C-alpha cells in the first residue's frame, strides 16, 4: 500500500492535476488505485477532476466513500455515482466497517501474484536486470531487437554488460531536511556533472552523472531530490514515495541521517525499503559539524538526546553503536560521518560507493563456497531440533544482491536462525560490505 493521499490538503489553490503529478510515481507502480472521498461532504469540482484523471490511468479504480458510520448515512453515497466510478464502497475507516468488501474487491482486481523478481535462475535474473538497465539508461543506451535461441524477439541493450555495470546508479534517500540537496550539490558540484533527462514517468526527472577516475556515477532523479514539499506533512509523504521510486532504479542508496536528530521512524521505513528490495546501502550521518561545534545544543537538545551520549557527544563509536541499535537490519551498511554543508568527508563517499558497488557484484565460485560450507559448524545455529536440516552444499546463484542457494536434505523453509547464522558466517568469510545477502534453500532432488 502506498499512501499518497491528501498531498496538498490545505492548499487553497487545490489543483488535482498537481496532486496527480506529485503522486504519479506511486500510480505508475500501482496495480490498483483506491480513491477516498469524505462521505459527509458534498462532491466538489476537484473530486470530479481527480476521478477523471485517475480513470485515465487505466488501472482498476475503487472508490472508498469514508465516514459512513450508519445505514442511514449509506444512502448518501448516491451522490458519489456522479464520479462515474463503478466500484463504490461505503465504509468507515475509523470503525472498520465495509473494509472487508473493499479488500475482497481489491484482491479480485489485482493481477495474480507476480513471480518473484528474485528469480532462481541466472536467466530470470539477467532478464530482469537487462530490462531495468534499458529503462534507466534512456538515451545513453539504445536497444535493438534481437532474436534469442528459441526464435523469440527480445530487446537487449547494445552496450556491453561491462559498460553497463561500470555505471553505478545511486539514490540519495532520507526524510526532508536531512541535507540531501546540499549533499548532492557537493557531490556533483566538485566534479564535472552531466545532466541527463530520465525518460519515463515524471516529466521533470533528471539524473546527474559524475565521472571520476574513469568511473561513472549516476545520481537518480536529482530534480526529485531538490524538490521541496510545501508543507511538512506533504514533504514527508513525498520523501517516502520518492525514495521508493528512486530505489527502484538504484544499485546503491545513500541513506542520509541528521546527526542532531538520530534515526527517525521515517528513516527506518525508508531504509527498510532499500533493504527489502536488495539495494546496497551506505549510511551517511550528516551535519556532524553541528555536533563537533556544539551548535546543535541551541537547535534541538531534546531531539539530539535520542541517539547521542550527553557526556560524550562527539564519540563516533558510541554514536554508531546506538545507530545500529535503531537500524538492526542494516548491520552490513558502512557508516560515514560527514558534513554536506562544509564538505567534510564528502570526498570519502565516492571511494566507498565504488567499494560497495564491487562487493555487490562479487561472485564466489562454487568450489570455494563448498570448502567454506565444510568449515561452518551449523550446530552452533540455535535452531529447534524439528526444524533442523542437513546442509549439503551451497552455490552463489546471483549477484546484485548476492544470492545463495542452499541445498538441503529436506524441503522445509529455512529457519530464521539458520539464515542469520549463515549470513554472518558468509560475511565473516567473504565480506560483502554494504549489500544485503539473500539465502534460499532447496531440497536436493
Ligand atoms: P533535504 O531536504 O534533505 O534536501 O535537505 P537540504 O539539503 O535542503 O538541507 C536542509 C537544511 O540543512 C538546509 O538549511 C541546509 O543548509 C542544512 N544542512 C544540510 N547539510 C548540513 C550540514 O552538513 N551541516 C549543517 N550545519 N547544516 C546542513
* Cα gap 134→123, rounded to integer Å: 17
Distance CA 40, CA 336 (A): 51
**Which positions of the chain have pLDDT values less than 50?**
5-12, 115-164, 191-193, 196-203, 298-299, 302
pLDDT at 312: 66
Give me the phi and psi of 284, to 5 degrees please: -110, 115
CA 141 to chain centre: 24
What pLDDT is attached to residue 349?
Answer: 96
Say how far apart CA 216 and CA 284 lie, in whole Å. 21
Query: Which cell is 273 given?
Result: 525499503
Give the pLDDT of residue 296.
Answer: 56
Task: Please report the DSSP string for 112-156 in residue order.
Answer: SPPPPSS-SSHHHHHHHHHHHHHHHHTTSS-EEEEE-TTS-EEEE
- Is 239 a pocket residue for ligand 1 (Cβ < 6 Å)? no
pLDDT of residue 210: 87
- Which pLDDT tens digit goes with each residue over 208-229? 888 888 888 999 888 777 777 6
Domains and CATH numbers, the chain: 16-109 (3.40.50.300), 162-360 (3.40.50.300), 366-443 (3.30.300.20)
pLDDT at site 430: 94
Interval 233-292: pLDDT, tens: 777 877 888 888 888 889 999 999 999 888 888 889 899 999 999 999 999 999 999 887
Ligand 1 contact via 383 beta carbon (within 6 Å):
no
Which residues have a Cβ under 8 Å from the Cβ of 68 and sit 6 or more positions away?
Answer: 39, 74, 76, 77, 90, 91, 92, 97, 98
Q: Can you tell me which atom of ligand 1 is nearest the CA of 339?
A: 23
The pLDDT of residue 22 is 60
User: What DSSP state is assigned to residue 444?
Assistant: -
pLDDT at 433: 96
Q: Which of 171, 172, 180, 182 best tests ligand 1's pocket when mutated (most atoms within 8 Å of CB)?
A: 182
State if residue 287 touches ligand 1 by the CB under 6 angstroms criterion.
yes
For residue 301, report the distance from its CA to the centre of ligand 1, in Å. 18
Per-residue CA distances from 63 to 66, 111, 278 (Å): 9, 19, 34
Q: Quick check: CB of 258 below 6 Å from ligand 1?
A: no
* Listed residue (228, 279, 238, 283) closest to 256, CA to CA: 283
Q: How far is the CA of 177 from the centre of ligand 1 (A)?
A: 6
Q: Whose CA is nearest to atom 9 of ligand 1?
A: 179
286 lines ligand 1 (CB under 6 A): yes
175 C-beta closer than 6 A to ligand 1: no
218 Cβ contact partners less than 8 Å away, ≥ 6 residues apart: 136, 167, 168, 169, 170, 207, 208, 209
3-state secondary structure 357-413: HHHHCCCCCHHHHHHHHHHCCHHHCCCCHHHCCCEEEEEEEECCCCEEEEEECCCCC
* Spatial separation of the C-alpha atoms in residues 317 and 400, rounded to whole Å: 29
pLDDT of residue 39: 86
Q: Say which residue the cell 566538485 belongs to.
A: 190
Close Cβ partners of 385 (under 8 Å, ≥ 6 residues apart): none
| Residues paired with residue 157 on neighbouring β-strands, in sequence order | 143
CA distance 396 to 91: 49
Q: Return the pLDDT at 299.
A: 47
CA 199, distance to chain mean position in Å, is 20
Amino acid at each position: 500500500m502506498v499512501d499518497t493521499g491528501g498531498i496538498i490538503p490545505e492548499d487553497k489553490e487545490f489543483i488535482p492535476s498537481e496532486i496527480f503529478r506529485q503522486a504519479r510515481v506511486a500510480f505508475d507502480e500501482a496495480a490498483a488505485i483506491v480513491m477516498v472521498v469524505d462521505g459527509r461532504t458534498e462532491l466538489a469540482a476537484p473530486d470530479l477532476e481527480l476521478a477523471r484523471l485517475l480513470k485515465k490511468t487505466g488501472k482498476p479504480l475503487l472508490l472508498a466513500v469514508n465516514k459512513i458510520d450508519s445505514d442511514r448515512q449509506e444512502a448518501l453515497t448516491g451522490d458519489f455515482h456522479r464520479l462515474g466510478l463503478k466500484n463504490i464502497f461505503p465504509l468507515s475507516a475509523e470503525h472498520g466497517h465495509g473494509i472487508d468488501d473493499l479488500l475482497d474487491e481489491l484482491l479480485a482486481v489485482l493481477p495474480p501474484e507476480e513471480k518473484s523478481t528474485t528469480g532462481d535462475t541466472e536467466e530470470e535474473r539477467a532478464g530482469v536486470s537487462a530490462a531495468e538497465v534499458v529503462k534507466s539508461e534512456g538515451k545513453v543506451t539504445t536497444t535493438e531487437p534481437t532474436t534469442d535461441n528459441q526464435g523469440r524477439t527480445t530487446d537487449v541493450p547494445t552496450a556491453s554488460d561491462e559498460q553497463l555495470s561500470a555505471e553505478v546508479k545511486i539514490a540519495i534517500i532520507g526524510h526532508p531536511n536531512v541535507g540531501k540537496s546540499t549533499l548532492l550539490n557537493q557531490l556533483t558540484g566538485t566534479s564535472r556533472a552531466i545532466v541527463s533527462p530520465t525518460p519515463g514517468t515524471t516529466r521533470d526527472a533528471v539524473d546527474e552523472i559524475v565521472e571520476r577516475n574513469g568511473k561513472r556515477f549516476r545520481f537518480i532523479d536529482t530534480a526529485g531530490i531538490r524538490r521541496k514539499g510545501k508543507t511538512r506533512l506533504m514533504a514527508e509523504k513525498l520523501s517516502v514515495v520518492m525514495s521508493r521510486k528512486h530505489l527502484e532504479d538504484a544499485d546503491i542508496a545513500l541513506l542520509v541521517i541528521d546527526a542532531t536528530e538520530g534515526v527517525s521512524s521515517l528513516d527506518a521505513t525508508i531504509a527498510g525499503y532499500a533493504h527489502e528490495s536488495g539495494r546496497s546501502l551506505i549510511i551517511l550521518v550528516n551535519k556532524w559539524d553541528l555536533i563537533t561545534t556544539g551548535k546543535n545544543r541551541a537547535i534541538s537538545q531534546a531531539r539530539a538526546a535520542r541517539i547521542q551520549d550527553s557526556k560524550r557527544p562527539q564519540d563516533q563509536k558510541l554514536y554508531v553503536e546506538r545507530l545500529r541499535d535503531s537500524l538492526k537490519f542494516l548491520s552490513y551498511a558502512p557508516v560515514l560521518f560527514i558534513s554536506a554543508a562544509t564538505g567534510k568527508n564528502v570526498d570519502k563517499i565516492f571511494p566507498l560507493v565504488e567499494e560497495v558497488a564491487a562487493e555487490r557484484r562479487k561472485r564466489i565460485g562454487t568450489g570455494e563456497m563448498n570448502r567454506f560450507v565444510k568449515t561452518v559448524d551449523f550446530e552452533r545455529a540455535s535452531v529447534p531440533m524439528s526444524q533442523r536440516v542437513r546442509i549439503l552444499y551451497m552455490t552463489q546463484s546471483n549477484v546484485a544482491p548476492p544470492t545463495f542457494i542452499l541445498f538441503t536434505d529436506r524441503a522445509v523453509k529455512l529457519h530464521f536462525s539458520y539464515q542469520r547464522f549463515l549470513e554472518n558466517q558468509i560475511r565473516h568469510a567473504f565480506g560483502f560490505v554494504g549489500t544485503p545477502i539473500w539465502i534460499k534453500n532447496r531440497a536436493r532432488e
